[in-house]
Structure 1
Amino acid sequence: MGTITLELDNFINPAVGAEVSFHAISWNAGRKQSFIPSGGNLHYHSLPSGGTVEHSHEFGELIFLLSGSIIHRVNGEKQLLEPNSVVFVRPDDRHGFLPAPGAPDCELLLLSFHLELFVTISRYLEDDAFLHRYTESVLPAVFRVPESRMNELSLELLSLNAQGITPAIRKIRFKVLLAELFTRFFLPQEAAPGSSDAPEWLESLCEKMKTPENFIPGLKRMQQLSGYTPEYLCKVFRKHLDRSPTEFINELRINHAARLLADSGESIAELAYRLNFQSLSRFYHLFRKQYSCTPAEYRKRALAARRLL
């Protein structure tokens, strides 16, 4: 069966613009799925061990894994979700679920929300950088939160299903929660002054290397800019950045390649050659390692994700 699309009107109260539901999942050896709905948007599922049908949405969705583990099958890849994970699913993501090895059941919350809420958050922040970070990766972002914070979030979300709360108040509280979550995870964090013990010359070198005219030439340019030997550079990078100079440069090149794949029609082979990779196979290996997909798959999904913007 192909991917199905879940429609907005079937899942979200239009007067609120968001909806939260609790799901307890167990797996069975058959092919049929069943669920028992309960009050307060609580659902109890028995699902086939072969997994659920893949689907996409007309809306955004956050997954909060409260207990157990589950395999999130998304965009042709698999993510293992463990307790206290938060997953930011985009409308164009094709996803479903599989049982995790040794995990017979799990509990999760689903927060579905209308994409118009992004406009509200952008106006509030006077910045849409969070939205670009939300959509730029091929796989949906997964974050872990402390158990105490997950407990607070789950109680706060489920309380919005209580009777007596007007749609207007529910909408405001959903906006506050979404603004907190997106700003917490998708806005760049400034390092506190003096928080790093890296030498100033290394920080300056790393900033200079972030420009294409420096990271494309690679190690030779780094050595010219620093004035240090390759052996000493490697020692300092390992100590302060936990990676080699080559790994640092390749990460910059791959991130730049991802932007070019999304924004230009340049062929993958030409792009790899221009960015000074040793070979096309080396480029594919590094790209897949960093983005969990091939460059061609990334280009296709990045173009599809633009519809959100």
Structure 2
Amino acid sequence: MDNNRQTAEGWLDPALGARISCHEITWTQEKEFRFMQTGGDLFFHRIPQAGTLRHCHDFAEIVLVNSGGLLHNVNGDRQQLTAGDLVFMRPDDIHGFAPAEGFGKAEIVLLDFDLELFLSLSVYLENDAFLQQLTAPVLPPSFRLDPVATGSLYAKLLKLNNPAESPQLRRIKLKILLGDLYSRFFIDEINLLSEAHVPEWLEKLCSQMRREENLRAGVERMQKLACRTPGHLCKSFRRYLGKTPTDFVNELRINHAARMLADSNIDILEIAEQLRFRSLSRFYSLFKRCYSMSPAAYRKLRGGERAV
């Protein structure tokens, strides 16, 4: 398999530590592989029915199916992928693609990134749990996005390929996107709760606290909704989520603040006040701890996506 091992050197952009490429695949009756590269990282492939060569990487890869469908031969098994499927490949997963019945074409986007960036996610997220959930299964984890989410992610990936921006800025944006993806699919509280056999009341409580009126009201509202003593509530959160109720509420508020920064022109001070932060300095401190930048810098990076 070493001969079919794709390495970061020669493929990834060394300044970025990553590469985003778009591939349109057409399955043919021909015996030869053909491809044409246009516009930098846009590839058009004509591939025989036997499929692509199976290979592995020394880097991580995220596969998004934007349209069509195909078979994913991976680690001795098969996954049938269609538009909206998102696959998180691990280094050394052995895989290749083959035609799926009913689909003559497929368009996929590959987000490839080096191990340094991959491992830095645990530092960025301050959580190693996602690594275990990512690496434990035999098959690479896959998830299904609805058409709106698929189109949104597709647009974000293509925007990251903007050559007019500096590699440093693109790398920051890439880290933000990777943090969003891995936290959403691997360390989101609701996903963890579904696998932890937790009490039904706690799972329901976490869902209720995501409502804007509840996350603004904070821990006091949480205690009323839970109908549990403060001590019982705190022990349950520490046992099943590894954090305190206050930490949980602050994370919900910060994530909501990030959405407001990206989707509106509301003043930063007003956002902090609406979400009931005790002080602006406290808001800035928590936001920077979560997103590694100030609210103003985050708005500047993400605000442009509203036009997509």
TM-score by shorter chain over 0.5 = yes
Which runs of 5 or more residues in structure 1 are unaligned? 197-206, 208-309
Partners of 2:155 and 2:62 in 1: how far apart? 15
Residue 24 of structure 1 corresponds to 24
| 1:160 corresponds to 2:172 | no
TM-score of the superposed pair, with normalisation by structure 2: 0.61
Partners of 1:66 and 1:117 in 2: how far apart? 24
Listed one character per residue, the Cα deviations across residues 148-189 of structure 1 (whole Å, up to 9, x for unaligned) are: 111111111111222311100111111111111111111152
> Does the 8 A contact of 2:68 with 2:83 survive in 1?
yes
Secondary structure of the structure 2 residue equivalent to 1:93? coil
Partners of 1:39 and 1:103 in 2: how far apart? 26
Residue 101 of structure 1 corresponds to 101
Listed one character per residue, the Cα deviations across residues 10-41 of structure 1 (whole Å, up to 9, x for unaligned) are: 21111111110000000111221111100141
Give, in angstroms, the shift of residue 192 of structure 1: 3.4
Alignment of 1:230-309 (within 5 A): none
Give, in angstroms, the shift of residue 108 of structure 1: 0.8
Residue 80 of structure 2 corresponds to 80
Residue 265 of structure 1 corresponds to none
> Does the 8 A contact of 1:3 with 1:53 survive in 2?
no
Give, in angstroms, the shift of residue 3 of structure 1: 6.5
Secondary structure of the structure 2 residue equivalent to 1:101? coil
Residue 183 of structure 2 corresponds to 183
Partners of 1:172 and 1:160 in 2: how far apart? 10
Give, in angstroms, the shift of residue 92 of structure 1: 1.5
Query: Is the alpha carbon distance of 1:8 and 1:2 closer, same or farther for their aligned partners in structure 2, counting shifts above 3 Å?
Result: closer
For 2:14, the aligned partner's letter is P
> Does the 8 A contact of 2:60 with 2:118 survive in 1?
no
Alignment of 1:51-62 (within 5 A): 51-62=51-62
Partners of 1:107 and 1:189 in 2: how far apart? 32
Residue 149 of structure 2 corresponds to 149
Residue 44 of structure 2 corresponds to 44
Residue 140 of structure 1 corresponds to 140
TM-score of the superposed pair, with normalisation by structure 1: 0.61
Calculate the aligned-residue CA RMSD, in Å: 2.1
Give, in angstroms, the shift of residue 194 of structure 1: 8.1
Partners of 1:38 and 1:195 in 2: how far apart? 46
> Does the 8 A contact of 1:3 with 1:56 survive in 2?
no
Question: What count of residue pairs does the alignment treat as equivalent?
Answer: 198
> Does the 8 A contact of 1:11 with 1:112 survive in 2?
no
Partners of 1:45 and 1:120 in 2: how far apart? 33
Query: Is the alpha carbon distance of 1:160 and 1:195 closer, same or farther for their aligned partners in structure 2, counting shifts above 3 Å?
Result: closer
Give, in angstroms, the shift of residue 126 of structure 1: 1.6
For 1:16, the aligned partner's letter is L
For 1:64, the aligned partner's letter is L
Alignment of 1:116-135 (within 5 A): 116-135=116-135
Partners of 2:38 and 2:151 in 1: how far apart? 21
Partners of 1:124 and 1:159 in 2: how far apart? 22
Farther-moved stretch of structure 1 (20-29 vs 117-126): 117-126
> Does the 8 A contact of 1:3 with 1:54 survive in 2?
no
For 1:98, the aligned partner's letter is A
Query: Is the alpha carbon distance of 1:166 and 1:195 closer, same or farther for their aligned partners in structure 2, counting shifts above 3 Å?
Result: closer
Which structure has more relative contact order (CA 8 Å, sep 6+)? It is: 1
Partners of 2:8 and 2:75 in 1: how far apart? 21
Moved over 3 A (4+): none
For 1:95, the aligned partner's letter is H
Residue 6 of structure 1 corresponds to 6
